[in-house]
A and B are shown apart, each in its own frame.
Chain A
Amino acid sequence: MACLSSSRLCARVQDKLLCQFGHKVRKQTVFVKLKPPGPSPLRIFGKTCQRVTTCGPACGSSGFSAAATSGLVRRLASSLQSTSTGSLPDYGTQIVDPYRLLEDDLNGIYEDIRSELERNTNQSELNTIATYYFDGQGKALRPMVAILMARAVNYHVYGENSALQPSQRQVAMISEMIHSASLIHDDVIDQSDFRRGKPSVNVLWNHKKVAMAGDFILAVASMMIARLRSDDVTLVLSQVVTDLVQGEFMQLGSKETENERFAHYLTKTYRKTASLIANSVKAVALLSGADESTCELAFQYGRNLGLSFQLVDDLLDFVSSAQAMGKPTAADLKLGLATAPVLFACEKYPELNPMIMRRFQEPGDVEKAYELVHKSRGLEQTRFLARKHGAEAARLAAELADSPYQKGLVVTTDLVLNRIK
């Protein structure tokens, strides 16, 4: 599915390229690059880029130097970026790759987080644990969406000459820090072995120290929030932390009845995942000085994107391989959690109900549930729901003033839906 759509995406990009080929390629053109680079379609894409690069009249050498550290594909794509300083081009229906679009803003964001943490401690082991997950291997989805929204709203409010405010980039960093702090505590709670393809923190260090490192990251993030000196932003972001903990508490118990179960699941998903994205995009909108309805729009975009993201995550837990995910699959079942695919599968296979109630604890439960989910339409229905939230996010983004960043917000909903890890 993901492959299919990405190749379709590439085909569209190629069409676009060929169309433009006749004209001048002197505009700032940025294309979809799926993260991580997919298999064959992307290679074709790369070649296409190369062809255009060599022929394109306005591709100077400056593009190459800017992307010296990136991989080949990235470099080629980057070379397409013209240096024209004129007015931003009319993108029309062209597809935008948000990660490429924000390359300069996202560049060094992990380094900046690491140095912020380092500045705040004189204990080397604390620094080591706290910076462990900021190695640049993550998708940086949260900072990306925050910056994208920041630029889109700035454009919406101030027009095309608007720039990203330093405080908005801080919020992007803070969102990733809060996320990591919660991952670190999750690791201790769930005793996971691997995360992002490397041993998780609880395997490497004393659990008491790991818990403290999580508190430390939160404290530093909280200091950064305070330094923005905005009461409203602080309130919005403090809500995130409260939501995260309440979400964890909801995950502890499964005492609710069958009717309440799905609502419970959605609320939990909002609190554990969507709240962070929703409130951080709301915070950047507030910092932009946007009016209340725009801030609310940003919030709803983040909420829907977050829900869609987590639904896909729950789906991938059933269909992806352990290798692609960088963490074990069917992990949720093993943790005793009933996510959307299982809850949907319940409609067809009521025998799942007692298993959900006993949190898949009896031998064979996990395997049986896994099998039933695959036999049912649970995965399909989960994808449908994820699409619905994705479409709603895209619809909301479309209400913002037309800009590459606004397009990026729309594309992000696709990226989230079609990701393979």
Chain B
Amino acid sequence: MSLSRLCRVVKCDLVKVQSSSALVSKLWGPCTREVSTCTTQRASVAQHNSKPDWNRAVSEAEKIVGYPTSFLSLRWVLSDEIANVALHLRKLVGSNHPLLKTAKNLIYNGKNNMQAWGLIVLLVSKAAGHSPEIPDMEQDKAAGVLHSQRALAEVTEMIRTSHLVHKGLVNMNSRQPIAAEPDDMMFGNKIALLSGDYLLANSCSELANLRNQELVELMSSAVRDLAEAEFLGERDEQNNPLPSRPLPKDQIQAASEWEIITDPLPMSGVIGCAGREWSARHVLAAGALLGKSCSAALKLAGHKPQLQTQGYRFGCHLALAWQAFLDLETFTGPEPASFSLVGAPLAFTLEARPELYEYIEAGKKSVQDVDYHALYCAVLEGSGIEQTKRLQRSHIARAVDVLDAFPNCDARTALANIILAMHHEHL
């Protein structure tokens, strides 16, 4: 798949919506947790082998950088703590704790979704190459990446998983009655908190072993961004995000640039402005980690700061494009029972019709109280989906711009294929 063809595809205005395949939604297990909490079974759609599908793009990309990167490898299975967690998880089976769902997504979808982020980091590493001064000892010649970059990819996955696991806690402090045994929930929280901490602690020591303090600072700032993400905007009692009330155009403050990425993301002009709020939310929750990881991979390879910044942009835009893709998915299949209230199509719809915010307010206590059907219909009627597609295309285009700077090689092609596969779903 050539890059030029990808650019062409991206830049054309293709609007035909096709039903998404169940496969893709499965691939994105942990990501989609927020997006599709739907219980309705999605109709499975036949795979088209002729078109670049996600599965193929990913598995081919894996071959390029060597063995799968997932940290759920033997050495993890053999660790005492993981064995301990598994033991305790068994006790939770039958309870309603969301940790089970998180764990299931990690294990059963493990091969396909977990490592997508690590995979991107490795592909970027390989595509950019490394400085000739790096000794042979530190290279994985066969895969074309550095050992340190592989460790970094593992750290990226650990940080992300740790965050997902911590996000899966149950708030026991809510006024809403909790629909399960409180003891089970408490125990589940304990295990979730400890497992997340375990991953976080391990990522700390893996990072320390890389002996690069600028890198430790950058990656730690990504952990901080993930924590910040959970505080942005309105929340229900289980901390599920709600969009903010749309502000009239003249009341929106000017946005400030995020110049130094180790500083926290500036919040001026974000809340109440559909596009910016969506971006800020997902930059903090996803883009920052992927972007900073890509940037860090280039730093390890001895590239100049300018290219490191490009790496950050690539990761960040790719993450946002992915998110837009997930948001769109809600509206391409059969109507789901519920969906993310902070997806881009709904955000744009609310911006156009502020009176719909009434429906959102019904979810202040619990997002389950929202009339999803009404909102779903409103989104389909308006131009939210179209705006989201434009948003996705702009992020894809900016990610592709960065790819252009890399030499033509198998890793670059693989990245292009992954982007294309994602885009293709909405042709």
Interface residue? B2 (CB, 8 A): no
A:243-262 near B, CB below 8 Å: 244-246, 248-249, 252-253
A238-B197 in contact given A123-B232, A216-B224 (Cβ < 8 Å): no
Chief secondary structure at chain B's binding surface: helix
A188-B193 in contact given A223-B217, A234-B208 (Cβ < 8 Å): yes
* Segment at the A interface, from B65-73, B107-115, B162-170: B162-170
How close is A195's CB to chain B, nearest CB, in angstroms? 15
User: Are the C-beta atoms of B228 and A241 separated by less than 8 Å?
Assistant: no
User: Are the C-beta atoms of A222 and B197 separated by less than 8 Å?
Assistant: no
Most buried by A among B186, B194, B205, B231: B231
User: Are the C-beta atoms of A246 and B220 separated by less than 8 Å?
Assistant: no
User: Are the C-beta atoms of B227 and A249 separated by less than 8 Å?
Assistant: no
Residue of B nearest to A129 (CB): B231
What residues of B have a CB within 8 angstroms of the CB of A245 in the complex? 81, 194, 197-198, 201
CA distance A244 to B193 in the complex (A): 13
* Segment at the A interface, from B134-142, B264-272, B354-362, B370-378: B264-272
User: Are the C-beta atoms of B231 and A212 separated by less than 8 Å?
Assistant: yes
Per the CB 8 Å criterion, the residue count for chain A at the interface is 49
User: Are the C-beta atoms of B228 and A123 separated by less than 8 Å?
Assistant: yes
User: Are the C-beta atoms of B200 and A226 separated by less than 8 Å?
Assistant: no
User: Are the C-beta atoms of A235 and B209 separated by less than 8 Å?
Assistant: yes
Residue of B nearest to A205 (CB): B173
CA distance A249 to B227 in the complex (A): 23
What residues of B have a CB within 8 angstroms of the CB of A219 in the complex? 220-221, 223-224, 227
What residues of A have a CB within 8 angstroms of the CB of B207 in the complex? 238
Interface residue? B366 (CB, 8 A): no
What residues of B have a CB within 8 angstroms of the CB of A239 in the complex? 205
Q: A123: which of B80, B167, B226, B231 is its contact (CB, 8 Å)?
A: B231
What residues of B have a CB within 8 angstroms of the CB of A235 in the complex? 205, 208-209, 211
What residues of B have a CB within 8 angstroms of the CB of A189 in the complex? 189-190, 193-194
B:220-256 near A, CB below 8 Å: 220-221, 223-224, 226-228, 230-232, 235, 237-239
Q: A122: which of B173, B214, B235, B267 is its contact (CB, 8 Å)?
A: B267
What residues of B have a CB within 8 angstroms of the CB of A119 in the complex? 264
Interface residue? A218 (CB, 8 A): yes
What residues of A have a CB within 8 angstroms of the CB of B196 in the complex? 211, 215
User: Are the C-beta atoms of B214 and A226 separated by less than 8 Å?
Assistant: yes
A:364-414 near B, CB below 8 Å: none
Per the CB 8 Å criterion, the residue count for chain B at the interface is 54
What residues of A have a CB within 8 angstroms of the CB of B197 in the complex? 185, 244-245, 248
Q: B173: which of A123, A206, A212 is its contact (CB, 8 Å)?
A: A206
Interface residue? B309 (CB, 8 A): no
How close is A247's CB to chain B, nearest CB, in angstroms? 11
Interface residue? B50 (CB, 8 A): no
User: Are the C-beta atoms of A218 and B200 separated by less than 8 Å?
Assistant: yes
User: Are the C-beta atoms of B216 and A212 separated by less than 8 Å?
Assistant: no
What residues of A have a CB within 8 angstroms of the CB of B37 in the complex? none
User: Are the C-beta atoms of B223 and A207 separated by less than 8 Å?
Assistant: no
CA distance A239 to B174 in the complex (A): 35
Interface residue? A121 (CB, 8 A): yes
User: Are the C-beta atoms of B227 and A216 separated by less than 8 Å?
Assistant: yes
User: Are the C-beta atoms of A234 and B216 separated by less than 8 Å?
Assistant: yes
User: Are the C-beta atoms of B173 and A125 separated by less than 8 Å?
Assistant: no
Contact with B along A252-292 (1 / 0, CB 8 A): 11000000000000000000000000000000000000000
A120-B84 in contact given A189-B194, A206-B173 (Cβ < 8 Å): no
What residues of B have a CB within 8 angstroms of the CB of A8 in the complex? none
What residues of B have a CB within 8 angstroms of the CB of A126 in the complex? 227-228, 231
CA distance A207 to B220 in the complex (A): 22
A226-B216 in contact given A123-B228, A209-B230 (Cβ < 8 Å): yes
How close is A238's CB to chain B, nearest CB, in angstroms? 4
6 further interface pairs, Cβ-Cβ under 8 Å (given A212-B230, A228-B213) = A191-B186, A208-B171, A209-B230, A229-B213, A238-B201, A242-B202
Please list the 8 inter-chain residue pairs (A to B) with the smallest Cβ-Cβ separation, ordered nearest first: A226-B217, A123-B231, A216-B227, A226-B216, A222-B220, A238-B208, A219-B223, A219-B224
Task: Give me 28 A-to-B residue pairs in the complex whose CB atoms sit less than 8 angstroms apart, sorted by A's number.
Answer: A126-B231, A188-B193, A189-B193, A202-B173, A206-B171, A206-B174, A206-B237, A206-B239, A208-B167, A209-B231, A213-B227, A215-B166, A215-B223, A216-B224, A218-B204, A219-B221, A223-B217, A225-B216, A226-B216, A227-B213, A230-B213, A234-B216, A241-B200, A242-B202, A242-B205, A244-B201, A245-B81, A249-B84
Residues of B within 8 A of A (CB): 80-81, 84, 88, 162-163, 166-167, 169-174, 186, 189-190, 193-194, 196-198, 200-202, 204-205, 207-209, 211, 213-214, 216-217, 220-221, 223-224, 226-228, 230-232, 235, 237-239, 262, 264-267
